[in-house]
Amino acid sequence: MPRALRAALAGLALVLALPLAPFAAALPDFADLAEKAGPAVVNLSTTRTVKTQDRMREFFKNHPKGFEQFFDQFERFFKEDGPTSRQRSMGSGFIISKDGLIVTNNHVVEDADEIKVHLRGKDKPLTAKIVGRDPELDLALVKIDNGSDLPFLAFGDSDALRVGAWVMAIGNPFGLQNTVTAGIVSAKGRAIGAGPFDNFIQTDASINPGNSGGPLLDLEGRVVGINTAIVASGQGIGFAIPASMAKAAIEDLKEQQPVKRGWLGVSIQDVDENTAKALALDEPRGALVTTVMEGEPAAKAGVQVGDVILSVNGRPIKDTNGLLQAVSAIRPGGKAELNVWRKGKDVRLSAVTGQRDPSRVALAKPDEEPKPVRTSLGLSLRPLTPEESGRLGITPGAGLGVTEVEQGSPADEAGLRPGDVILEANQTPVNSVAAFNAVLEGDAKAKGVILLLVKRDKQTLFKPVPLAEKQ
């Protein structure tokens, strides 16, 4: 080959290689991070006693109507002290102190009779006990018996975490101990309907069953999230609780006391486009107050039904989830300066937060499902259970579930369906059949139409239902 051609090819090869060099240098090497952080990540195995009838009930409730009748017959053969079985499950966690305090998810250890901790490189598992649980944030703190001089991880600043930043997850997916996966932060502030404080970090670092409770680490080896949830039908979509939300709760759990969160004492709902127009609000934002509980902090501060809370201590409120996060972040007894939108004007109010109590928030759990009541529209309605409200992302105590629609009725002709949830009637929030009928027989009867705000699956829409003409 001529010398000139060889020189030209060598030069071309050099030019082609140049752009790749800085790109390759920018890729992180996770080997040192995995070696350093790995020993502090543990595999948790739990055992709990489950009654046969509870397992059967769980099975049949997820099947079509008619199966529950079969279960009712089946259940007669089992008494409360009937057969039981031992159920085992696995998850992850990470040590945060030398004496063996471990952070994990509440759902990993809830109702566990026995917890075993498997450390990397150790053949014999250690016994652990629950120190405290926070079901609302899905966090738990457990401690190894007689732990000492154990490797541990420190928390980082999840608020400073940027979308696109590299992160690494360590856990025990499908029981494969100390599995390391890496990816980037795909998004922040994700609400997935998992609970009242949805504010997840989304990542494409592979997370699978068994990763729950394990750490999401930044490149400095600091915990920026606790891996918690996945999208079962998706790939590369995992969710982690931000460290900034977890740290305060963990400090309370260390003291074996309930997590301290602020409380206003209001029921709220999101502001959609139509509601914003009706309230002369420039755009859909804030949290619309539907109920103010007597004697609670919001009532003492002068908050009224129909107010839209736009900011708390200068923090803009986008929706109901944003208000819950902002208020809960204030310790009980702290100041909450509220900017509310009331009848076309900005109003400033000052509240002193109370202590959030999940039992008050979720209402008392009924002994049985509320019975539906038929209305003159051809709808059968009943209040939602707390479980249904949580699953649908609706404020507990708000809305009425449609259980049946009479064929040929005004509701049927307007397109209402079983499974719909009625949030408002003629722009009045309804949380009982009596409240619904009051609107139906009053304002709606006078106008000849009732405008229903309906939640259907993940959508909220208005459904006008014409009433029979007045004679």
Q: Binding site for substrate: which residues?
A: 107, 138, 210-212, 228-232
Which amino acid would we find at residue 195?
G
Cα–Cα separations (whole angstroms), residue 13 to 7, 17, 20, 281, 334: 10, 6, 12, 62, 66
Helices 52-60 and 67-75 sit at what angle, rounded to 10 degrees? 170
Contact 201, 184 (CB under 8 A): no
* CA 290 to mean position of chain CA atoms: 22
Annotated binding-site residues read: 107, 138, 210-212, 228-232
Tokens of 198: 């949805």
Is 376 one of the annotated active-site residues of the chain?
no
Residue 159 in contact with residue 242, Cβ under 8 Å?
A: yes
Burial state string for 258-277 with b = 16 or more CB within 10 A and e = fewer than 16: bbbbbbbbbbbbbbbeebbe
For the question of residue 319 being annotated catalytic, the response is no
Report d(CA 213, CA 431) in Å as an integer: 36
Catalytic residue from among 45, 212, 380, 389: 212
Torsion of CA 174, 180, 184, 185, to 10 degrees: 60
CB count, 10 Å around CB of 97?
14
* Residue 141, helix vs strand vs coil: strand
CA dist., res. 313 & res. 315, Å (int): 6
Q: What are phi and psi of 136, to 5 degrees?
A: -65, -35
Amino acid identity of residue 215, one-letter, is P
276: tokens are 């914003």
Q: Which of the residues 45, 107, 198, 267 is marked catalytic?
A: 107
Select which of 45, 92, 118, 138 is catalytic: 138
Residue 107 annotated as catalytic? yes
The residues annotated as belonging to the active site are 107, 138, 212
